[in-house]
Amino acid sequence: MRGSELPRLVDALRGPIHVFVRESRARIALLVSGAGQVLAQHGFARGYHVMNVASLAAATHASSRALAELSGASRWEHLYHGGRERQLFLAPLRTPLGELILVVIFDADSSLGIVRLFYENLEREVAALPEFQQQPERADQSSFEQDLEAGLEYTSPEAASED
Amino acid sequence: MNQLFSAAVERVSRVAGVRGALLVESEAGVPVVSELREGVNETAIAALAASLFRRTAAASETADFGRLNTLQLEADDGHVVAVDAGDLILVVVVDHDAQLGLVRYEAHRAAESLA
């Protein structure tokens, strides 16, 4: 997604992500594009954490998709890690504009079932947003890095300036 | 084990007025085995019933009422009965005019068969 399109998309996502976090009782939520651009975030204290998790989520998404294709599963639904105190849920969010990636960290105050339920609601809501109906401009090589960093600037300007 | 779970769910589902029954993993809130009428959202019922059961169990213990055995939710058009089954919760979705006593009895018997 081009940097010029991001403010519109980031604004449109604020409401749905707020509802998702409230209803699912997630501690941390991050929504990134397939390229790792940050589109929405909740619960991160530092900008470099956001960028690290966004990059790892994009890489995990690409690997999982490739693995699903290789194994004949065609597409993957979600990845889940149940830690002792915190749990991680990572899933593709399908929109007309392309796949986004949702990363959620939650604790005993929520559950996998609750997160999965409100993830499905979030996917439906985002897919219906008017801002996600148009085909995006293609990024070229020279603008890619600039576009990648633009997401963090729009979602958490304080965090972006500290790095 | 899977047969045991299926048998427990089938037993409750046979009661008149039961729209469906499911065994839910209590910590994760995800369905293990289910038998539901068409149109009943399995993911939502499992997640929300498990969440409600866990929170009510916490409230029960906080109030010194001990371990929660049964949770019964009554609404205008139906009931939800959730029974403790160890690491699982047996959730039964029931029509408004069903015989709740029989549903509860069968749900407890089914939960006991899993202990």
Q: What does the DSSP assignment read for A23-79?
A: HHT-SEEEEEETT--EEEEES-S-HHHHHHHHHHHHHHHHHHHHHHHHTT--S---E
Among A30-39, B15-24, B94-103, the least confident range: A30-39
pLDDT at A152: 66
Asked if A77 reaches chain B (Cβ–Cβ under 8 Å), the answer is: no
Q: Rounded to the nearest 5°, which phi and psi values hold at B3?
A: -65, -40
- Alpha-carbon torsion, ordered A38, A161, A12, A65, to 10 deg: 0
pLDDT at A144: 62
pLDDT at B89: 97
Chain B's closest residue to A106, CA to CA, is B28
pLDDT tens for each residue of B40-61:
899 999 999 999 999 999 999 9
pLDDT at A148: 63
pLDDT at A97: 87
Give, in degrees to the nearest 5, the angle at Cα B67 between B61 and B72.
100
What share of chain A has pLDDT > 90, as a percent? Answer: 45
Q: Is the Cβ pair A111, B27 closer than 8 Å?
A: yes
* Chain A residues with CB-CB distance to B46 below 8 A: 113
| Beta bridge partners of residue A33, listed in sequence order | A100
CA gap A39, A32 in Å, rounded: 5
Candidates A1, A60, B89; CA nearest to B80 is B89
Mean per-residue pLDDT for A59-73?
86
Chain B neighbours among A 121-160 (CB < 8 Å)? none
Among A42-51, B18-27, B52-61, the least confident range: A42-51
pLDDT at A29: 95
Q: Rounded to the nearest 5°, which phi and psi values hold at B19?
A: -80, -20
CB A118 within 8 A of CB A24: yes
Mean per-residue pLDDT for A105-123?
95
pLDDT band at A76 (very low <50, low <70, confident <90, very high): confident
Indicate which of A23, A80, A107, A111 best probes the interface with B, i.e. most B CBs within 10 Å of its own CB: A111
Write down the mean pLDDT value for chain B: 94
pLDDT at A163 > cutoff 60: no
pLDDT at A156: 66
pLDDT tens for each residue of B98-115:
999 999 999 999 999 997
Strands B18-25 and A38-42: unpaired
Strand A28-33: give its sheet, edge to edge.
A38-42, A28-33, A98-106, A87-95, A79-82
